[in-house]
Chain A
Amino acid sequence: GDKVKQSPSALSLQEGTNSALRCNFSIAATTVQWFLQNPRGSLINLFYLVPGTKENGRLKSAFDSKESYSTLHIRDAQLEDSGTYFCAAENTNTGKLTFGDGTVLTVKP
Chain B
Amino acid sequence: GPKVLQIPSHQIIDMGQMVTLNCDPVSNHLYFYWYKQILGQQMEFLVNFYNGKVMEKSKLFKDQFSVERPDGSYFTLKIQPTALEDSAVYFCASSLDSGYEQYFGPGTRLTVL
Contact = CB atoms under 8 A, between A and B. Distances in A.
Given A43-B104, A45-B101, A95 B42 contact: no
Interface of B: 1, 31, 33, 35, 40-45, 48, 50, 55-56, 58, 89, 91, 93, 95, 97-104, 106-107, 109
B43 A86 contact: yes
Interface string A39-57: 0111101001000000000
A64 interface: no
Interface size class of A (residues with CB under 8 A): 20 to 34
Nearest 6 CB-CB pairings of A with B: A48-B101, A99-B43, A95-B98, A43-B104, A94-B56, A94-B55
Given A33-B102, A43-B104, A45-B1, A94 B48 contact: yes
Interface of A: 1, 30-31, 33, 35, 37, 40-43, 45, 48, 84, 86, 88, 90, 92-102
B107 A96 contact: no
A45 B2 CA distance: 10
Nearest to A42: B106
A98 B40 contact: no
A97 B102 contact: yes
A99 B42 CA distance: 7
Contacts of A94: 48, 50, 55-56, 98
A25 to B, nearest CB: 15
